[in-house]
């Protein structure tokens, strides 16, 4: 057992006294005079001030980890921090006494959309786990004025609205004026020489002030409070176009201000693929340079200018290639500002930096034109160029495939800076996010590097915060679990194993079913309130919630639903298990195909839900604006977890883990972390279908896949579904789906929807048929939870700490 929580309130009475005082302190009024929003704000401010006090009293010790990420999808924090401080029950009871249920206050909290999807949420889970494990962990990211757009649905279409998340203020953040730093863009590099010594300076260009906003990260047990530092861009006084200002050209002066502020105005809404805007490059450099300046300033205060030891005391982790400039920028600061020798600076960078890759999709690998890069960051670029030059010069030319290896691994190629190669060359460690994904990196995506430096490569299978996604999200099940095996699982997720014997305990299974039903009712109510769609809670809840992307194949799910629809109508003896299909997720604004799939789902929902011939057997709901907060309502209600990307495309997936932990059974391909879920739960407790990675590769290599063959082989069934995309069947809401049909039949079905269709539909039918045996189903569901402890991000972070960051060496 771990030591007891560091409680911030000793009792309900203590909480009530402090809360009433805080109303005066933070809102200048008594509790009774405040509205719910203000009451929330005061409570959050009180907890935030406690968190800051804990940190001030006991700063975490040991090696500093800096997790650099352009995205931290932190979600609502209050409920999680109450749990971590061990005062959730006290506060709940106190709020009831006040006549304002805690849930009502929690529903007032903003859900900061400072990330797109899996990558950003992973960073937030890692922050939670570092604090829980007492690791001295720091987040370094961007404070976007507007987070990911809000999604509303109009006539079935996704419409994007601005996310003004700071409207009511953000009680968790503290602006730190005294920690602001200057970041320089553009200008020219000038060479200076004196007494045979020479050095360079970057002259002119724009000076931007990066101002940090700090968010405390409360670890489970409340003993460790770490810091998430988010940067905001402002014009530096030195450079706020004073000439224009003094000359009275206020418009010009203000334009400069807004150009600078633009750097931290918006989050780019792409989850993978699509790059190219120069503003994005500015964002990347701003948070990298500001973060590194802060790190070196802190280090120098503590250790003096012993730069050669930086890697012993500091680990810099780069989440994907977005912070890839860390290597050359660290060298620039060390060489230009600290007088470190070039070779030593490179060694220090490599010892300190590590890199996680999150995708093997070639179109998602980040590249920037050399000209753009050099014009914006002339001095930093010189370090890239020099490292690239030395890399080519010292390349092992004796290998017979050296030209091919060099072509694969050089940083500069075809007029572009290849950010993945930049990341690998400046890192001592490169990891993938699931066993399958790391294997593909080694064998394909980064195989040149794997041949040259296999020792750099390692796997770190993703994980999730089990405290948030089970403890906070699923209170009815969490309570059942704690009543059965104690609450040790909150600190050690492996204790969930203790549930295994209860998978054969009839009364436990009944309690599980009750908890699941309560969660299904909660979700059904939310869906009815937000969309008007009524779901029958006796139906199976079959859930696919994630970003919209062709490779994730929401379209395959739609094909299955249309197939059920057609068969129910044409064959009265066909009796599928009544099922409610729940979808949720956003598509990038510019991703036309993904947005059309969203419109298709809403059109199918319209047709199915209003057709009395089928709507007692199938229903379809699209939950708008998927975000951490709505995710926490959806996962606990799910019974089937759809993880149906084509094998070899999804690096890991993390909703698969969240759903498994909440007792949903996976219907999935052998892709990403599904492979590991399968190993852990066993084939009896998961449903796998479809081509394997190798089969997909072979099929693609053969050039023999022909979508029209699949269409013609079964005109009445599969062919009919394709036809329905354009024959008016689904056109009532806002028209037909020509472009989706063309993706399948003209672009030859790149994502193998028609190829995996039968395998998928049969797997679904077999899985849902087994739902009738409630005991067997619930047994399987409970075993999924019991075996999900491995997917706690606590385990993942322990592995990073041991193998990559070398904490405690």
- Chain residues in the site for ligand Z57 (CB under 6 A): 116-119, 122, 271-272, 320, 358-359, 364, 433, 462, 650-654, 672
Q: Which is nearer to ligand Z57, 272 or 318 (CB)?
A: 272
Given the residues 654, 693, 726, 785, the one annotated as active site: 654
Which residue, chain included where needed, has tokens 């009792």?
Answer: 11
User: From the CB of 658, what's the least distance to ligand Z57, in Å?
Assistant: 11
Other residues' Cβ atoms within 10 Å of the Cβ of residue 738: 12
User: From the CB of 588, what's the least distance to ligand Z57, in Å?
Assistant: 11
User: From the CB of 548, what's the least distance to ligand Z57, in Å?
Assistant: 12
d(CA 357, CA 353): 13
Q: Which is nearer to ligand Z57, 272 or 584 (CB)?
A: 272
d(CA 426, CA 734): 50
User: From the CB of 662, what's the least distance to ligand Z57, in Å?
Assistant: 17
Helix axis angle for 36-57 and 12-22, nearest 10°, is 110
Catalytic, 29? Answer: no
- The upper half-sphere exposure of residue 246, i.e. CA atoms within 13 Å in the direction of its Cβ, equals 5
With CB atoms as reference, the residue minimizing the distance to ligand Z57 is 118
* Nearest Cα residue to 65 out of 130, 154, 162, 141: 130
- The upper half-sphere exposure of residue 314, i.e. CA atoms within 13 Å in the direction of its Cβ, equals 27
Given the residues 63, 437, 460, 546, the one annotated as active site: 546
Q: Which residues contact 76 (CB under 8 A, 6 or more apart)?
A: 106, 109, 110, 111, 628, 629
Given the residues 50, 322, 468, 547, the one annotated as active site: 547
Catalytic, 658? Answer: yes
β-bridge partners, 543: 582, 641
d(CA 278, CA 270): 15
Q: Which is nearer to ligand Z57, 95 or 433 (CB)?
A: 433
d(CA 717, CA 562): 10
Q: Which is nearer to ligand Z57, 185 or 268 (CB)?
A: 268
Catalytic, 297? Answer: no
User: From the CB of 151, what's the least distance to ligand Z57, in Å?
Assistant: 17
CA dihedral angle for residue 84, residue 89, residue 94, residue 99, rounded to 10 degrees: 110
Given the residues 229, 358, 467, 553, the one annotated as active site: 358
Catalytic, 775? Answer: no
N-to-C CA span, the chain: 25
User: From the CB of 117, what's the least distance to ligand Z57, in Å?
Assistant: 4
Given the residues 50, 658, 687, 787, the one annotated as active site: 658
Distances (CA, A) of 144 to 52, 181, 222, 284, 568: 23, 17, 28, 13, 48
Q: Which is nearer to ligand Z57, 108 or 649 (CB)?
A: 649
d(CA 468, CA 82): 11
Catalytic, 552? Answer: yes
β-bridge partners, 159: 152
User: From the CB of 472, what's the least distance to ligand Z57, in Å?
Assistant: 20
* Nearest Cα residue to 363 out of 545, 547, 551: 551
User: From the CB of 287, what's the least distance to ligand Z57, in Å?
Assistant: 16
User: From the CB of 149, what's the least distance to ligand Z57, in Å?
Assistant: 16
d(CA 554, CA 630): 19
d(CA 551, CA 598): 14
d(CA 496, CA 677): 15
Largest CA distance in the chain: 94
User: From the CB of 123, what's the least distance to ligand Z57, in Å?
Assistant: 9
Q: Which is nearer to ligand Z57, 535 or 627 (CB)?
A: 627
Distances (CA, A) of 397 to 394, 419, 424: 8, 24, 20
- The upper half-sphere exposure of residue 285, i.e. CA atoms within 13 Å in the direction of its Cβ, equals 28
607, 730 Cβ separation under 8 angstroms: yes
Q: Which is nearer to ligand Z57, 311 or 463 (CB)?
A: 463
Catalytic, 55? Answer: no
d(CA 215, CA 77): 10
d(CA 412, CA 420): 11
Q: Which is nearer to ligand Z57, 364 or 691 (CB)?
A: 364
Given the residues 12, 50, 282, 552, the one annotated as active site: 552
Active site residues: 358, 546-547, 552, 654, 658
């Amino acid at each position: 057992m771990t030591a007891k929580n560091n409680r911030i309130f000793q009792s309900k009475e203590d909480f009530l006294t402090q809360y009433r005082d805080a109303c005066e302190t933070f809102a200048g009024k008594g509790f009774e005079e405040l509205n719910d929003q203000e009451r929330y704000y005061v409570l959050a401010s009180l907890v935030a001030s406690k968190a800051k006090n804990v940190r001030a009293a006991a700063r975490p010790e040991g090696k500093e980890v800096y997790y650099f990420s352009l995205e931290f999808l932190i979600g609502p924090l209050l409920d999680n921090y109450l749990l971590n401080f061990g005062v959730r029950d006290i506060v709940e009871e106190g709020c009831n006494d006040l006549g304002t249920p805690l849930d009502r206050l929690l529903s007032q909290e903003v859900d900061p959309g400072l990330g797109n999807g899996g990558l950003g949420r992973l960073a937030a889970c890692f922050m939670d786990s570092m604090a829980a494990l007492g690791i001295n962990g720091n987040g370094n990211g961007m404070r976007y004025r507007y987070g990911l757009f809000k999604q509303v649905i109009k006539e079935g279409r996704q419409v994007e609205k601005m996310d003004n998340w700071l409207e009511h203020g953000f009680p968790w953040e503290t602006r730190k004026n005294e920690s602001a730093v200057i970041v320089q863009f553009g200008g020219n590099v000038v060479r200076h020489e004196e007494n045979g010594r020479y050095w360079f300076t970057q002259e002119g260009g724009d000076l931007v002030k990066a101002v940090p906003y700090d968010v405390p990260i409360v670890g489970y047990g409340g003993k460790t409070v770490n810091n998430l530092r988010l940067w905001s861009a402002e014009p530096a006084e030195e450079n706020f176009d004073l000439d224009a200002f003094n000359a009275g050209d206020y418009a010009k002066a203000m334009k400069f201000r807004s150009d600078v502020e633009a750097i931290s105005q918006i989050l780019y809404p792409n989850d993978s693929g699509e790059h190219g805007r120069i503003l994005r490059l500015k964002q990347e450099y701003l948070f990298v340079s500001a973060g590194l300046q802060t790190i070196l300033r802190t280090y120098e205060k503590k250790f003096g200018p012993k730069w050669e030891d930086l890697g012993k005391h500091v680990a810099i982790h780069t989440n994907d290639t977005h912070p890839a400039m860390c290597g050359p920028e660290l060298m620039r600061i060390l060489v230009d500002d600290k007088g470190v020798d070039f070779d030593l600076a490179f060694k220090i960078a490599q010892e300190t930096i590590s890199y996680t890759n999150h995708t093997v999709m070639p179109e998602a690998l980040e590249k920037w034109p050399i000209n753009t890069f050099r014009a914006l960051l002339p001095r930093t670029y010189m370090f890239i160029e020099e490292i690239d030059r030395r890399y080519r010069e010292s390349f092992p030319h004796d290998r017979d495939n050296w030209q091919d290896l060099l072509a694969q691994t050089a940083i500069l190629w075809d007029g572009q800076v290849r950010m993945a190669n930049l990341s690998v060359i400046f890192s001592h460690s490169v990891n993938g996010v699931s066993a399958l994904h790391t294997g593909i990196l080694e064998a394909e995506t980064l195989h040149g590097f794997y041949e040259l430096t296999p020792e750099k490569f390692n796997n770190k299978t993703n994980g999730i915060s089990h405290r948030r996604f089970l403890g906070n999200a699923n209170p009815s099940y969490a309570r059942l679990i704690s009543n059965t095996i104690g609450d040790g699982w909150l600190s050690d997720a492996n204790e969930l194993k203790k549930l295994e014997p209860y998978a054969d305990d009839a009364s436990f299974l009944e309690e599980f079913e009750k908890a699941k039903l309560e969660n299904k009712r909660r979700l059904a109510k939310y869906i009815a309130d937000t969309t008007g769609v009524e779901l029958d809670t006796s139906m199976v809840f079959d859930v696919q919630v994630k970003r919209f992307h062709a490779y994730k194949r929401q379209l395959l799910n739609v094909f299955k639903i249309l197939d059920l629809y057609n068969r129910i109508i044409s064959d009265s003896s066909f009796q599928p298990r009544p099922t409610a299909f729940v979808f949720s997720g956003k598509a990038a604004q510019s991703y036309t195909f993904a947005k059309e799939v969203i419109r298709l789902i809403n059109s199918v929902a319209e047709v199915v839900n209003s057709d009395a011939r089928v709507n007692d057997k199938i229903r379809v709901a699209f939950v708008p604006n998927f975000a951490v907060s709505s995710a926490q309502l959806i996962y606990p209600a799910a019974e089937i977890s759809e993880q149906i990307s084509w094998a070899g495309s999804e690096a890991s997936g993390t909703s698969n883990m969240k759903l498994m932990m909440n007792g949903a059974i996976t219907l999935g391909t052998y892709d990403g972390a599904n492979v590991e879920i399968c190993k852990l739960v066993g084939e009896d407790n998961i449903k796998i279908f479809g081509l394997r990675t190798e089969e997909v590769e072979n099929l693609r290599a053969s050039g023999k896949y022909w979508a029209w063959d699949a269409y013609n082989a079964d005109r009445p069934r599969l062919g009919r579904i394709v036809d329905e995309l354009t024959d008016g069947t689904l056109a009532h809401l806002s028209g037909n789906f020509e472009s989706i049909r063309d993706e399948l039949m003209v672009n030859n079905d790149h994502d193998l929807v028609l190829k995996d269709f039968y395998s998928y539909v049969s797997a679904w039918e077999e899985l849902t048929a087994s739902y009738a045996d409630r005991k067997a189903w619930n047994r399987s569901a409970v075993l999924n939870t019991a075996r999900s402890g491995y997917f706690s991000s606590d385990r993942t972070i322990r592995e990073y700490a041991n193998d990559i960051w070398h904490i405690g060496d």
